[in-house]
Chain A
Amino acid sequence: MSTRHEREPDAIVRESNRHAIDPERDAIDPELDRLIAATRAVAAGADFTTRVMTAVENEGTPMFDRPTRHALTLAMLVAVVALFMAERSARAYDDTLVSTYDESAAELAW
């Protein structure tokens, strides 16, 4: 036959330690112990988890999950860098064209 100690060793040790290291406990606790015991059976309604999950879903699930969000952020960064590089190379090309034009114009002027 299993005893209470065999079933819940940690809980028993923890409870007995709490009493042992707390010498002031007896002074105020009879009333408190009664209230703790009387409220031990208090529980949420049977559909509480469903209710919470409905609230969580109504709260607004993000359009993308976290890995997708990370991938999108990375893609945006890459796009920004690519735009920057394109802009720079376009400017460099413009500068080259302008300098070529200047050189050609100078040659024609001679």
Chain B
Amino acid sequence: MENLEEAVEKVLNGDSAAFGQIVEATSPRLVRMSARMLGSVQDAEDVVQDSYVKAYRSLQNGQFDRRAKVETWLYRIVVNTTLDAKRSKARSKTTASDQLEQAGGWESVAAADARVALREMSAWLDRLPEEQRTVLWLKTIEGLESAEVAAILGCSEGAVEQRLVRARAALREKRSDGR
């Protein structure tokens, strides 16, 4: 998206409000993506917020070298932060947001359905090793191209395809075991 590059330029020139445009344009997709992995919108909001703070800090420190597109760079930060959160969530088992959501923090039936689906999605992905899970998450669920996934994960497109094949094989196996 061309506007994102322009917004980054503005942020680099001292217009911190332009960062709000970046957040506005990218957060719907990033929060949904993170929520699908974490199984919780609240956890995803926390993770994506941390990711934006990291991104802003990187921009201020001149660490964004612009070799990647802004969107790809943001995806990379959110994916890494989400995976870190997933690991620590697995260690602590239940988070405060789980308790809040279980207590009825959501307002509508549709939202409650989505919450259940998010948990199912997260559990569905948990059946795979992290490496395969991440590729399946980004490529099949989020619909990114192999080249984009490779850029986000810092590996080759071949590695992405290979992990995807393994992920599908593992899921088929688990599915047939489950019957």
A residues apposed to B, CB below 8 Å: 14-15, 18, 24, 27-29, 31-32, 35-36, 38-45, 48-49, 51-53, 55-57, 59, 61-62, 65-68
Further pairs besides A49-B20, A52-B49, A57-B16: 4, Cβ < 8 Å: A43-B28, A43-B32, A49-B23, A49-B24
With A14-B143, A44-B48, A68-B14: A27-B172 Cβ-Cβ less than 8 Å: yes
Partner of A32, one of B13, B28, B60, B124: B124
Residues of B within 8 A of A18 (CB): 143
Interface of B is mostly: helix
B residues apposed to A, CB below 8 Å: 12-14, 16, 19-20, 23-24, 27-28, 31-32, 35-36, 41, 44-45, 48-49, 52-53, 56-57, 60, 62, 110, 113-114, 117-118, 120-121, 124, 140-141, 143, 165, 168, 171-172, 175
Q: Is the CB of A32 within 8 A of B27?
A: no
Q: Is the CB of B16 within 8 A of A61?
A: yes
Residues of A within 8 A of B62 (CB): 66
**Cα distance A41–B16 in the bound complex, in angstroms:** 30
Q: Is the CB of A48 within 8 A of B53?
A: no
Interface of A is mostly: helix
**Cα distance A41–B29 in the bound complex, in angstroms:** 10
Partner of A53, one of B19, B32, B117: B19
Residues of B within 8 A of A24 (CB): 165, 168
Q: Is the CB of A39 within 8 A of B53?
A: no
Residues of A within 8 A of B48 (CB): 44, 52
Q: Is the CB of B41 within 8 A of A44?
A: yes
A-B contact pairs, 23 of them (CB 8 A): A24-B168, A27-B172, A28-B172, A28-B175, A32-B124, A35-B117, A35-B120, A38-B117, A39-B36, A42-B31, A43-B31, A43-B32, A44-B27, A48-B27, A48-B45, A49-B20, A49-B24, A49-B27, A53-B20, A57-B16, A61-B16, A65-B14, A68-B14
**Would you list the 9 A-B pairs with minimal beta carbon distance, nearest first?**
A65-B14, A38-B117, A44-B31, A35-B121, A28-B171, A42-B32, A56-B56, A49-B23, A52-B52
